[in-house]
Amino acid sequence: MRTLAGALLGLAPGVMGVSPAHAGSPRQAAVERPAVDVVQVGGLLDPINVALVNRALDEAQRRRTSVVALQLDSGSATAPGRAVEALAQRMERSEVPVVVWVGPTGRGKATHEAFRLVAAADVVGVAPQTRVGDDSASLEAAVRARPVGAEEARRLGIAQIVAPTLADFIGQLDGRQAKGRILSTAEPRAEGEPFQLRRDLDIRFRKPGLIDRTLHAFGSPSATYFLLVSGLVLFLFELFSAGIGIAAGSAAVCLGLSAYGLGTLGTRPLGLVLLLIATFGFAVDIQSGQPRVWTGVGSVALAAGSVTLFDGRQPSWLALLLVIGGALLIVLFAIPSTVRTRFSTPTIGREDLIGSLGTAVTAIAPEGTVEVRGAPWRARTFPAAIPAGAPVQVVSIEGLVLEVVPEGTELLPPRHPD
């Protein structure tokens, strides 16, 4: 009986469709349903895109996916070169076939560092009117000088398939060999008939999460530059308005979003320092109430910092012109006008406020906010601080700022110009 039972147990794996030698081995288990994992890699080849492909390869290995397909539309990389090279080598060593389709038609590209992923793929497809190539001396001489089009890429052997759509590329993978496997992605068909994808083929799209998508979208040079300058301008607005409100929150969001791009785009310290000098220069003249020398310093620093902010890449010229022009309009006209409107009343002239009494809304040490004749004003005092709620008297006005002293302070006679 034991002999019979042992024989039956030995036959059981064959009855289940798995050879006895491989029973219990997940590496050799048959794929239950053919599947293609599509990873869309667009824009800059940044750390987020590199991590996305690595996660897709991990999951494909774990789930025994039939094929991993990269839909590639990328140029230069902001991820470290060693990370891109490590990803390419992993694609080459992967037990799961990894294929690349460069698209979409008319505007897709795989140039510069992104072309390294093309060179690492088992099968390469390109859409019509796309560009592939690199100026790296370690790659094919035919594409060093310039990227080439789809048909030339196939003629040179860089690409094996020209397909206008991703679905067409996946269908044309049928019957090709990769990693020792024969790929099966289409239904059987007679010669000359159009292909149809297998009915049981599972196509899954792998995309980054919401936070990663947001950071990737704002990680380009133009977007990062816009967010950085916008945050600094909003900071200036908040600096010269009473209280902390929407402008401060918006500035924090803009600066926070720009931090990812600043950390991955090769930011030059000189460019960042120049933008901070520009912010300081504009603040000095906004405080005085009219543009002076510091406005000129700030304008020059803004322009110089904008074109030197990133190493090896810069925002588009359109972005540079719009951001610089918009920032100058805001700091020269919008902020002073808004501050004057907020801290003045239309029924009195500013000089009439000298000698007026008011109340300290906040502690003035040495600057703060006072209320005079029902309107809030920025104020400063010297030499001693004035607590909140204390009565004050206006002694002079400089630009948009009132100089005040505690009520009852003996005042010196006013000075008259010669």
The residues with which 45 forms a beta bridge, in sequence order, are 77
pTM of the model: 0.70
Q: How many residues does the structure list for the chain?
A: 418
pLDDT at 54: 96
Chain position carrying tokens 């006209």: 333
- Rounded distance between C-alpha atoms, residue 367 and residue 394, angstroms: 14
pLDDT at 347: 44
Q: List CB contacts of 5: < 8 A, sequence separation 6 or more.
A: none
And the tokens for 227? 């967010």
351-406 CATH pick, 1.10.10.10, 2.40.50.140, 3.90.1150.10, 2.120.10.30: 2.40.50.140
Domain boundaries, given as residue ranges, for the chain: 32-208, 218-342, 351-406
- Structural class in CATH, domain 32-208: alpha beta
- Rounded distance between C-alpha atoms, residue 341 and residue 333, angstroms: 12
pLDDT at 38: 97
And the tokens for 394? 């206006």
From first to last of its 418 residues, the chain has per-residue pLDDT tens of 444 344 333 333 333 233 333 334 444 344 457 899 999 999 999 999 999 999 999 999 998 889 999 999 998 888 888 999 999 999 999 999 999 999 998 889 998 889 999 999 999 999 998 988 865 433 344 444 567 777 888 888 889 999 999 999 999 999 999 999 999 999 988 777 878 999 999 999 998 899 999 999 999 999 999 999 999 999 998 888 765 678 889 999 999 999 999 999 999 999 999 999 999 999 998 887 778 899 999 999 999 999 999 998 889 999 999 999 999 999 998 888 777 666 554 444 567 788 889 999 999 988 899 998 888 888 999 888 999 999 999 998 887 789 999 988 876 555 444 4
Do 186 and 34 meet the contact criterion of CB atoms below 8 Å apart?
Answer: no
